[in-house]
Amino acid sequence: MTYSTINTAPHTLPRTFKQQLMLLILALVAVMAVSAPQTAYAEQALISPGDQLNIAFVGEAGFEDPFEVDREGYINLPEVGQLMVSSLSIEDVTLLVKQQLSESYRQTDRIQITLHAKRLLITVLGYVRQPGEVDIPGNGNLQMALTAAGGLKPGAQLNKVQLKRNGETLTINYKEYLDSGDSQLIPDLKPLDVIFIPSSPLTGNVEVEFDAASLLSGGDAAEKKQSVRIFGEVHNPGTFTFDEDQNLVDLLMRAGGVTRYASVEQIRLITDGDPKLFDLKGYLDSGNATDMPDVTAGATIFVPMKEEEVKTGNRTVYVMGEVFRPGAYESKAEATFFDILANAGGPTRYARTREIRVISRDGKVSEFDLQAYTEGLASAPVPQVRPGDAIFVPEKNDMNQTSWLKIAPKNAVHIMGAVTNPGRYEWSDEMSLLDLLAEASGPAKDADLTALNIKRAGQKPFVFDLNGYLKGTHRKNLPQLKGGDTLIIPRLPELPAGNKAVWMRQTSEESVFVLGQVGVPGRYRFTGEQGFLDVLSAANGPSQQADLREVRIIHRSSRTVHITQLDLALYLETGDQSLIPQLNSGDIIFVPDQELTNYENQASKSVRIMGALNSPGYYRFNESMNLLDLMALAGGPTNAANLEDLHIIYQGCCDTRTVHFNLKDYMEDPSGTLLPVIRPGDSVYLPPIDHSTRSEFMGVVRDLVSVATLLLLIL
């Protein structure tokens, strides 16, 4: 067995008394080293948490990487586990490791232990980017520990860094170290030290992300008692550190100076509860230092906003309303209306330029239509504007606003009824009826354009046929509307299936009834201009079950009611317009069902023949046929038929009657008797012979024969 095989196959050896004694001695040495760090061991390089040890054990793979001492002072050895090495020297650790490994490995005397790296385990908490435990070199300092923790976060308080060690807290002015670079200002670090970075009071109670610019925008003071508060009309209001060498002007400059809206004559200073006014403009004009008030720590400086002054004068003109820059303007004698309006920026997009008002100093009000003037339609001159006058540009009426008070009644027209957007609209005399309808987004789809109703105060309503005007059949011109008029557009009646209440208000004299197999049967308005196909189309046309060859039109307009039969299928095949009847108000169009028509045709064009026949049933019958033809179609009478009593049942419009006919006599002598008339719809019944009556008659005959025979025998 080779050397490497022996090492890679460790086995447990019996522990001798000498080994146990050596282990006890090493344990006592470790205890003494921990309890007495000021002994001779302290002069050697002692192991501390964070250090890295190299354990050279040739042939063993588990000892190739360095072993790191954790914060409790242990290293993790193969086959042994946790082993306390903190505060021991390299020699003591070597003896201890050899003793522990000798239980599982052979030739442990060849083990060599060296210090791979001296490290420091430091805990960094507080306002750092990556708080937690960091590992730095043994000669590392505070700055290296903070760098290992990701660096400081914006808002960290640098002058009160805390170092906690063995239950004691040391405050470090890290800001002073950064300013001077003096390493004596920061203490040396030891293993297991805790560094805490507090946050600045400027960060407030809510965690927010900000940069250095936002951090300094509120001032540079850390403590309120040693600061000065500056707010109001300054560029950078905030809390600033108090400096005895700075006066009020210096503090205002630190706040970025005053804004253009600052009232520099009314700056307020509160020091120790004593308010004072400071005239900065007066100080800058005089330069007198005695006018400068004293500022102490904790003072408050407020720069108020400059209040607007009312501008008046003998040359002032006022522009108000919907202009870009309303206000008071100094006017010259030669300034015109357009000059003043242009200096105010001109009307905005919301200005109602048709009713610009000029209010003179004596209270007289005149209107000016700027839009008509720019279009060359206005004949009125441009108003004269004098000092003291006011120009008012009113706001344009907004369709989305519910208020209608912005338009005077004389300048408004009402439109109601079947339009897309009914309402109250602004009116001008150069507008027409079509302009108003277009402004209301046009008529609705159910608008009755033949009866537009125009109402004007003090006059009778006027009805206008706009549909005829658009088609060119109505020769009248469009009516001229005026402010205050009301336009009402009625609605066409809805489909009967849509709203019953609408067609119930419609009279029968102006209606046509459509019944039967159509899409929407009901009552439809009829003015005389519509034809049969118009009315049928309004009812959505015939359905699939409709019998187009049996359409009926019931005319009720005259005193006598008559019916017209229409073969609509033939019209659709030939296009013969003469087949279409003329409609009148009150007529009824009936489109029958195919199954009902088939039954009615069969009943009205056929004759029923029943009784003692070979093939009774329904048979088509026409005027060229007679009773014998019908009997032949039915297969002729049977042997049991009673030809002497043929029943013919006539179906009339008001009553039904039955006629008896002796077919036997007619067959014996056709010239002596006429055949009865048969019409489609009649019924023929050929009864069978009554055998019970015949049997009784034969019995009587037989009895008479028997009696006669008996009499003959007697005689």
Q: What is the pLDDT of residues 346-368, one digit of tens each?
A: 999 989 888 899 999 888 999 89
Residue 681: pLDDT band (50, 70, 90) is: confident
Does pLDDT of 394 surpass 80? yes
pLDDT confidence of residue 315: 80
What pLDDT does residue 698 have?
A: 64
Nearest to 631 by CA among 605, 649, 604, 613: 613
Shared domain for 11 and 111, answered yes or no, is yes
pLDDT digit string, tens, across residues 17-48 = 555 565 566 556 554 544 444 433 333 568 77
**What is each CA distance from 615 to 619, 627, 660, 663, 675, in whole angstroms?**
10, 15, 21, 18, 21
Burial of 476 (0-12, 13-18, 19+ CB in 10 A): exposed
Residue 613 domain-assigned (yes or no): yes
More confident site: 246 or 226: 246
Residues 385 and 481 in one domain: no
Residues 104 and 127 in one domain: no
User: Would 500 be classed as within a structural domain?
Assistant: no
Q: Do 445 and 470 reside in the same domain of the chain?
A: yes
Instruction: Check residue 300 and give its pLDDT.
Output: 93
φ/ψ of 245, rounded to 5, equals: -80, -5
The rounded percent of the chain whose pLDDT value lies above 70 is 78
For residue 358, tell me if it sits in a domain. yes
CA distance 156 to 448: 80
Q: Which of 135, 178, 188, 181 is nearest to 156 (CA)?
A: 178
Residue 613 near residue 635, CB atoms below 8 Å: yes
The verdict on 572 and 561 lying in the same domain is: yes
Structural contact between residues 517 and 591, judged by C-beta atoms closer than 8 angstroms: yes
Tokens found for residue 291: 């006018």
DSSP per-residue letters across 244-272: TT--HHHHHHHTT-B-TTB-GGGEEEEET
Same domain for 678 and 609: yes
For residues 1 and 385, which has the higher predicted lDDT (pLDDT)?
385
| 235 Cβ contact partners less than 8 Å away, ≥ 6 residues apart | 255, 256, 257, 258, 259
pLDDT tens sequence across 400-458: 555 566 677 777 888 998 899 898 888 887 788 888 888 888 898 888 888 888 898 88
Q: Is residue 587 part of a domain?
A: yes
- Return the sign of the alpha-carbon dihedral for residues 170, 175, 179, 181: positive
Q: Determine the Cα–Cα distance for residues 364 and 250; give it in Å rounded to an integer.
A: 56
Instruction: Please identify, among 330, 361, 393, the residue that sits at the C-terminal boundary of a domain.
Output: 393
Q: What is the CATH number of the domain that holds 14?
A: 3.30.1950.10
Picking from 94, 85, 81, the residue whose alpha carbon sits closest to that of residue 47 is: 85
Q: Are residues 675 and 590 in the same domain?
A: no
> Using an 8 Å Cβ cutoff, are 685 and 649 in contact?
yes
Fill in the DSSP letter of residue 638: -
Domain of 424 in residue numbering reads as 409-489
Last residue of a domain, one of 574, 599, 624: 599
pLDDT digits (tens, 9 = 90+) for 99-157: 777 677 766 666 777 777 677 888 999 989 999 988 888 788 888 889 988 998 887 88
Contact present, 131 and 146 (Cβ < 8 Å): no
Is 51 a residue whose pLDDT tops 80? Answer: no
- The span from the CA of 88 to the CA of 106, in Å, is 24
* Dihedral sign (CA 542, 543, 546, 552): negative
pLDDT in tens, 142-167: 888 899 889 988 878 888 899 998 88
Looking at residue 380, its pLDDT comes to 78
Q: Which is higher by pLDDT, 505 or 554?
A: 554
Number of domains in the chain: 7
Residues 103, 25: one domain? yes
Task: Say what the pLDDT of residue 11 is.
Answer: 38
Same domain assignment for residues 103 and 126? no
What is the predicted pLDDT for the residue at 38?
40
User: Can you give the pLDDT at residue 4?
Assistant: 32
Measured CA to CA, the distance from residue 181 to residue 187 in angstroms comes to 13
What is the pLDDT of the chain when averaged over all its residues? Answer: 79
Please give the Cα distance from 252 to 234 (Å, whole number). 8
The residue-averaged pLDDT of 1-26 equals 45
Q: Residue 99: helix, strand or coil by DSSP? A: helix
Predicted local confidence at residue 313, as pLDDT: 63
pLDDT tens for residues 599-654?
555 556 788 888 888 888 878 777 778 888 888 888 889 988 888 888 888 876 56
Pairing of β 194-197 and β 119-126: parallel
Q: Report the relative pairing of strands 412-417 and 390-393 from DSSP bridges.
A: unpaired
Do 366 and 434 lie in one domain? The reply is: no
Q: What is the C-alpha separation between 163 and 193, in angstroms, rounded?
A: 7
Looking at the chain, the whole-number percentage of residues with pLDDT higher than 90 is 12
> pLDDT tens for residues 204-239?
666 666 555 555 555 665 566 778 999 999 998 988
Q: What is the pLDDT of residue 398?
A: 61
Q: Of 368, 393, 418, which one is at a domain's C-terminal end?
A: 393
Residue of higher predicted confidence among 33 and 525 = 525
Q: How far is Cα 299 from Cα 229, in angstroms, rounded to an integer? A: 6
Max Cα distance, the chain (Å): 193
- Asked if pLDDT for residue 505 goes beyond 70, the answer is no
Statement to judge: residues 74 and 43 lie in one domain:
yes
- Looking up tokens 């009553």 gives 655
pLDDT at 550: 85
Contact (CB, 8 A) for 323 and 341: yes
Which CATH number do you get for residue 231?
Answer: 3.10.560.10
DSSP letter at 220 equals S
Whether 614 is covered by a domain: the verdict is yes
- Report the alpha-carbon distance of residue 272 to residue 254 in Å, rounded: 22
126 shares its domain with 108:
no
Confidence (pTM): 0.32
Q: Is residue 522 part of a domain?
A: yes
What digits encode the pLDDT tens for the residues 542-593? Answer: 988 888 888 989 988 767 788 888 888 888 888 888 889 888 888 999 998 8
Evaluate whether residue 436 is within a structural domain. yes
| Residue 622 included in any domain | yes
pLDDT at 499 over 60: no
Phi and psi, residue 221, nearest 5°: -85, 140
Higher pLDDT, 695 or 197: 197
**What is the spatial distance between Cα 240 and Cα 300, in angstroms, rounded to a whole number?**
10
